[in-house]
Each structure stands twice: as C-alpha cells, then as structure tokens.
Amino acid sequence: MAISLLTCWSKVEISFSIMNNFITSGTSRLIITTLNALQTVEYHLLAEGKSSVDYFYKSYFLLEPVDRSLVDNIRSSSKAYEKEKSEKVMVVKNEIKDLKEKILSEEKAKKKMCYKCCQTAENDTPKS
C-alpha cells in the first residue's frame, strides 16, 4: 500500500511540474477550460515523449484519414472563442453607450439649470 501511494505521488508531482512549464503571467489570465485544455495537451505530448509536430505528423497527408474528433474539437473551440469574443465586445459597447447616455443627461441637466438661472435672473432684474 505504501509503495502504491508513493508511485501515485510522483505522478501527481509530475503533473504539477508540467503545469509550471506553461503557466506564465500571460496564461494566468486564461479561462479555466482553456488552461485545462493546455494542460491536457501538454501532458499527452510529454507522456508520448513527442513534440506536437511529431505527434500529429502524417507521412502523406492527402491519403491518410482525417481525425474527425480533432476537427470537431477545433470547430467547437473556434465557435466558443468567437462567441466569447463577441460577448466581450457587446459588453464594452454597452458600457460605452451607458457612459454616453450618462454624459448627455448630465449636459442636459446643466443646460436646464443654466436656463432656469437665466430666467430667474431676468425676472429678478428691475426693468427700467
């Protein structure tokens, strides 16, 4: 039992060591699912002992069959990325729109206040 725990611990340690290879200040801002995908790919490549070019190498790519699951994964991740990007753009556009409306309403309020002040000043001044 003790030996099985020790062998398990080394594999866990290797997994965390692999995570340290690609977690940087740039990747720390990624979404958890993206980071999970990076970790999974990196782990499989290191487990195979191959680079990504060697792992996906095809001797004659025109005749070899296409990996359908890989194509589906790429398409779904592309759709998810585009959706997330468009949602972020919409959020920014809505924030800008709200700020513009707020600024315009403040300017209108200032104009009304100035107009009222001018009206009261005209009414208060004695006519000669």
Tell me what pLDDT residue 13 has: 62
Number of compact structural domains in the chain: 1
Domain-embedded: residue 122: no
Q: Residue 7 to residues 10, 46, 112, 128: CA-CA distances in angstroms?
A: 5, 18, 77, 103
Q: pLDDT tens across 52-72, in order?
A: 788 778 788 788 888 888 788
Mean pLDDT of 3-27: 58
DSSP 126: P
Cα gap 87→9, rounded to integer Å: 41
Closest CA to 81 of 34, 16, 13: 34
Rounded to a whole number of angstroms, the CA Rg of the chain reads 31
Assess whether pLDDT exceeds 70 at residue 82. yes
Q: Tokens for 14? A: 């290797």
Residue in this structure with the two tokens 């025109």, named with its chain if needed: 62
Domain-embedded: residue 39: yes
Mean pLDDT of 101-109: 83
Q: Tokens for 86? A: 């468009």
Cα gap 44→54, rounded to integer Å: 12
pTM for the model: 0.44
Q: Which range marks the domain in which residue 34 is found?
A: 1-64
Mean pLDDT of 84-108: 89
Domain-embedded: residue 14: yes
Lowest mean pLDDT among 63-67, 97-101, 118-122: 118-122
Domain-embedded: residue 127: no
